Every structure is written in C-alpha cells, then in structure tokens.
Chain A
C-alpha cells in the first residue's frame, strides 16, 4: 500500500464518520442560543433563560438551551468580531455593538429594530458611600472636592464605566450653562481624586468594598443594589440630582443566527424581554424596566425618580461620544495629560 493510497483511505473514512456524526446530531437537534453578555447580567439571564425556555416549550413544544458568556463589554464585542458564535448580544453600551456591526455581522441600523433603542431594561449611575455617609456626599459636585477619594474604573477599559464618566459630564454641562471647557475641568477634578483606576467594574467594587479604599464609589444602580444586598448595612446609595439613562442594548447577530438557523428563536428570545415576565425579572435583578407596571411592587419602589439625560440628546449618541471622549487622545486622555 503506497502512502497517498493510505491517506485517501483515511480521508474517506473520516468523511464517512463526519457524515454519520452529522446525521446523528441532526436527529437530536435542538436550538442552542449563545448569549454573549457583560458582567453584571449573570444572575438576571440565568433566571430569564429558564423563564424563556419554559415559555418557548409551551408555545412551540421545542426545546431551547442556552450558553451564557459574561465578561467586560468591550472584550465580549471583540470576541464576537474575532469569531465567537454569538446568536444574541446583550452588552453594556451601544458603542460596543456598533463595533460588531462595523465588522459586518449585523446591519448598522441594528438599534432601530427593537423598541426603546433596543434596550428593554435600563439603569442609571448612582453614588455608593460608606455607612452613615461620613463625608456627607450628596451630589456630583462633592466628588470634585479636594480630599475626597473617588473609586471608578478606567472608562477606557470598562465600557460600563463610560456611563459613569458621562453622567458626571452631563451634570457639569447642566450646571455650567453647557460650557464644555468647564465640564471638562470638573470631570478632570473628579478623576484626579481617583486613587485606584481599576480595569473593570468588578475590580473597582473589590477595591471599594474589600480593600476599604475611597469615600465614594461611582456605580451602576443595579450593581449598587447588588453590593448592598451582598454587604447589608455597610453602604448607602446616594442618588445624585442628575444622572444619565444607561441603556444596555440587545440585538440578534444576523450572520451567526442565519447560518445556524436560530434567528426565529433568537428574535423571540429578545422580544420576550419586553413581555411582562421579562420586565418583571429585569426589575427583580435591579434593572429599571421600560414598563414599570409589570414590575413587582417592592421592586418598582426601589427606583428613585431622578432627572436622567440620554446619551443621544446630550452627547449625540455613541457614534459621536465614543471617539470624542474615549478615543485615543480624546477628552479622557487629556485629563491625564501631564502639567494639567
């Protein structure tokens, strides 16, 4: 038997095996949805996936299973661009999904496909202080005072923390007659008060909660509630006079879903987020539901009414805000330029 002969036989054998395996899988096919999400949605989607699977089984009789991936929002977007087979994306900011759209996996106008900017639940940015609020922090202006230590992640490495930065910026614009230079100076003052610039929100939480560093922690509202639940009696939430409407958006990744034939389920999966059950679960996991009437009473009561700016009205959307503030040499980099 010659060498090429051997390889041809091996190839035939392998091919046959592949066909056999393929048919075997076909018989037991069930839809598997890969949801690529960011860090703090872990508990929410665990419960929501179970709820949707039950709902889908009842509606169609089909079984749907889930694979969840959690990580920093930007890192997750890069993973999908680099080939992670996500059916749906549920990230912290539209800017990251825009980047995925750039790579051609989904259309550029993805955010108009679902109601409410494709964000079925929202949150906002609040201030977490130590018990009794010893430094008497009431609003953003207190964070810029000398001697106050502020904990927040680096907005360059943490997508979620970009909302923190923008909330402070929106406050400064509002209180300085929309004077951009003054707003920059104000936000610069706050970041000069940051002694530890962690790379992600979970790292910052550790620094503030476990290491005891800092007087105030700028946090997403849902994560502040989580920290309070985890460490009862140690922290208080201070809701500032103005904050920003943080919209974590969701979308189907068209190319992946079409290739895998999961589009129908993936779309239903996201639609169900807007249903009474989806809204109730979001509120339970400390996200502000778009339809508060569906939230349980004790969940709905948690959310304090606060004046909220949107990224679109105040900053011209992520398409503009991202390069202007967080791009290379952008406003955030200028804060740290030497001699300032």
Chain B
C-alpha cells in the first residue's frame, strides 16, 4: 500500500486503471485543504506570532503542563474504559436477540446527537452532592462532580458510540464458522475469544479507541460544567485556551491549541503504526 501511494506522487500519470483518479483526487485535496488543512495551518501561523521563547515558556508552564496532563490523561482513561464496555455493548447487540434491541441500538448514538453542554449539566445534576447518585456516593467518600473523575465520566459518555460503532460491523461480519472450527479443534471458550475473536476485531477496537480518545481531548462543552475548573486540579487544556482568548491573547490561545494538535497527532500516528504492525503480523486489516 505504501509503495503504490508513494509512486502516485511521481510525475507519471495516474497509475490506477480505474477512471476518474485525477478528478476525485483533486476534489478530495481541495476539500481537505478547505475544511482541515487551512484552518489548522491558521492555528500554527497565529501561534507563530508568539515567538519561540514565549511559546516555549508557555508550553513548559506548570499550569499548561498540568492542564495538558489532565486533558490527555482523562481522555486516555475514558477511551480505555470505552474499549471494554463498548466491546461488550457491541457483542450484546450483534450476538443476541432480545426485546427492545432496536431501541437499545438507537440509544447508543444519543451521545452523538445530544449537545454536550446538556450532557454535562445532566451528569453534574446527577453526581452533585444533592443529586440522585451524588447523595449516595458522596457520603461514601466518592466525589464525582467537580473532580477529575467527573471529567472521565463525561468523556466515557461522549466516547462510547465511537467504539461501539467501530466494532459492531466487524463483529457482525465475523465468520461464525471460525469459532465453530476453533471449538471442534478442542479450544476452550476463553481460548476462542482470546485467539480467534479478539485478534479479528482488534483493529476496529483500536480505531474506536483512537476516535473516542481524539474526541475526548478536545471536549469542552460538557466538561466545564462537571469539572469544577480549579487550576492545577480540574482545569482542562481547552479551558486554558478560552482563558487566553478572554485576555485577548490570540497567539497564546492558538499556541496551546498547536501543542494539543501536535500531541494528538503523535498519538494518533502511534495508533496507526500499531494498526499497521498488527496488520503485518496477522493479516487482518482494520
């Protein structure tokens, strides 16, 4: 795959035998530039106005570092939790029939549709010390609202459909005969799951993880309601960006955005490399 796409950038005409290569590729590039590349380039150009020294001071400022750690840490934890429970949900939806299944299936997509601020408010109302759940949990010493734990809870909600919807189709297409073969060859149920099913859906799980994680890193709307927003404790990086904007410090705001972009890109690239490695190892692609 890598050699063919590389050679397509060489001055030869389109190598594909399919018609329309030039037109579709041209439109795609234009579209990607307008929607993604140009705005992102704007971020880096604006933040360049800061100068390297100021940029570095900002990037290594303990408060920025604390906010970045919180944003990426909570997004990683939430995506990890979603991989486990999203897989379970997909499994139940694909493998079993039960009354209300379609309703359940449709409900998975709700986090996509719901304005995140509404989700944040709902979770805060639930987990606040006077809320339904909070009034039980807080006396037990488990504070969710206004702590980093609250951020994780909100991000689990936001990220769940990404994992379910990535895994579900792969699981549905999965050939049952492979499992049956595995069973007839004497494998235990656990062995079948670990050696036959998991490797097959691992790429889609990774994809779901990456999507949920990326979505969580940038989340703002729901978190500001539930986090408490205390500097060094529950202040997320996107809030720092808003704070810089309130200071009319556009360069400072975009600098934090640029740092987040670079880290996100590096992590997503890492996940892609993992996918490719997995593909080479097992021959199963995502």
In the complex, the chain A residue whose C-beta lies closest to that of B225 is A203
Given that A211-B128, A211-B130 are contacting pairs, would A154 and B243 also be in contact in the complex, using a CB cutoff of 8 Å? yes
Q: Is B231 an interface residue (CB 8 A)?
A: yes
Q: Is A248 an interface residue (CB 8 A)?
A: no
Q: Check if A213 sits within 8 Å of B146, measured CB to CB.
A: yes
Q: Check if B243 sits within 8 Å of A196, measured CB to CB.
A: no
Complex partner residue of A338 from B62, B130, B243, B248, CB under 8 angstroms: B62
Q: Is B175 an interface residue (CB 8 A)?
A: no
The interface residues of chain B lying within 8 Å CB-to-CB of A78 are 245, 248
Q: Check if B128 sits within 8 Å of A199, measured CB to CB.
A: no
Complex partner residue of B228 from A75, A197, A206, A328, CB under 8 angstroms: A197
A91 CB to nearest chain B CB (Å): 13
Q: Contact mask A143-170 → B, CB, 8 Å, 1/0?
A: 0000000000010110100000000000
The interface residues of chain B lying within 8 Å CB-to-CB of A336 are 63, 230-232
The interface residues of chain A lying within 8 Å CB-to-CB of B230 are 194-197, 336
Q: Contact mask A112-136 → B, CB, 8 Å, 1/0?
A: 0000000000000000000000000
A217 CB to nearest chain B CB (Å): 15
In the complex, the chain B residue whose C-beta lies closest to that of A98 is B248
Q: Check if A199 sits within 8 Å of B239, measured CB to CB.
A: yes
The interface residues of chain A lying within 8 Å CB-to-CB of B243 are 154, 156-157
B-facing residues in A160-204 (Cβ within 8 Å): 194-199, 203
The interface residues of chain B lying within 8 Å CB-to-CB of A196 are 146, 228-230
**In whole angstroms, how far apart are the Cα atoms of A36 and B193 in the complex?**
60
**In whole angstroms, how far apart are the Cα atoms of A45 and B115 in the complex?**
28
User: Which of B232, B243, B246, B248 has the most chain A CB atoms inside 10 A of its CB?
Assistant: B246
Q: Check if A211 sits within 8 Å of B124, measured CB to CB.
A: yes
**In whole angstroms, how far apart are the Cα atoms of A223 and B158 in the complex?**
33
Q: Is A267 an interface residue (CB 8 A)?
A: no
Q: Is A289 an interface residue (CB 8 A)?
A: no
A213 CB to nearest chain B CB (Å): 7
Q: Check if A213 sits within 8 Å of B248, measured CB to CB.
A: no
Q: Is B73 an interface residue (CB 8 A)?
A: no
B132 CB to nearest chain A CB (Å): 12
User: Which of B125, B130, B131, B242 has the most chain A CB atoms inside 10 A of its CB?
Assistant: B242
A-facing residues in B101-126 (Cβ within 8 Å): 121, 124-125
Complex partner residue of A327 from B63, B224, B247, CB under 8 angstroms: B247
**In whole angstroms, how far apart are the Cα atoms of A4 and B217 in the complex?**
48
B227 CB to nearest chain A CB (Å): 9
Q: Is B285 an interface residue (CB 8 A)?
A: no
Q: Check if A212 sits within 8 Å of B244, measured CB to CB.
A: no
Interface residues of B, CB < 8 Å — how many? 28
In the complex, the chain B residue whose C-beta lies closest to that of A158 is B246
Complex partner residue of A328 from B130, B225, B239, B247, CB under 8 angstroms: B247
The interface residues of chain A lying within 8 Å CB-to-CB of B247 are 156, 326-328
User: Which of A159, A211, A212 has the most chain B CB atoms inside 10 A of its CB?
Assistant: A211
Q: Check if B232 sits within 8 Å of A197, measured CB to CB.
A: no
Q: Is B129 an interface residue (CB 8 A)?
A: yes
**In whole angstroms, how far apart are the Cα atoms of A198 and B146 in the complex?**
10
**In whole angstroms, how far apart are the Cα atoms of A197 and B242 in the complex?**
14
The interface residues of chain A lying within 8 Å CB-to-CB of B63 are 333, 336
Q: Is A74 an interface residue (CB 8 A)?
A: yes
In the complex, the chain A residue whose C-beta lies closest to that of B242 is A157
In the complex, the chain A residue whose C-beta lies closest to that of B124 is A211
Q: Contact mask B127-140 → A, CB, 8 Å, 1/0?
A: 01111000000000
B230 CB to nearest chain A CB (Å): 6
**In whole angstroms, how far apart are the Cα atoms of A78 and B252 in the complex?**
15
The interface residues of chain B lying within 8 Å CB-to-CB of A157 are 239, 242-243, 246
Q: Is A99 an interface residue (CB 8 A)?
A: yes
Q: Is A7 an interface residue (CB 8 A)?
A: no
**In whole angstroms, how far apart are the Cα atoms of A74 and B250 in the complex?**
13
Q: Is A210 an interface residue (CB 8 A)?
A: yes
The interface residues of chain A lying within 8 Å CB-to-CB of B146 are 195-196, 213
In the complex, the chain B residue whose C-beta lies closest to that of A336 is B231
B-facing residues in A199-238 (Cβ within 8 Å): 199, 203, 206, 210-213
**In whole angstroms, how far apart are the Cα atoms of A199 and B226 in the complex?**
12
**In whole angstroms, how far apart are the Cα atoms of A213 and B138 in the complex?**
13
In the complex, the chain A residue whose C-beta lies closest to that of B130 is A212
B-facing residues in A63-101 (Cβ within 8 Å): 74-75, 78, 99
**In whole angstroms, how far apart are the Cα atoms of A214 and B244 in the complex?**
27
Question: Could you list 29 examples of A-B contacts with CB < 8 Å?
Answer: A74-B246, A74-B248, A99-B248, A154-B229, A156-B243, A157-B242, A157-B243, A195-B230, A196-B146, A196-B230, A198-B224, A198-B229, A199-B224, A199-B229, A203-B224, A211-B125, A211-B128, A211-B145, A212-B128, A212-B129, A212-B130, A326-B247, A327-B247, A328-B244, A328-B249, A328-B252, A336-B230, A336-B231, A338-B232
Q: 17 additional contacts, CB 8 Å, given A156-B243, A210-B125, A327-B247? A: A75-B246, A78-B245, A154-B229, A157-B242, A196-B230, A198-B224, A211-B125, A211-B128, A211-B145, A212-B128, A212-B129, A213-B128, A326-B247, A328-B244, A328-B249, A336-B231, A338-B62
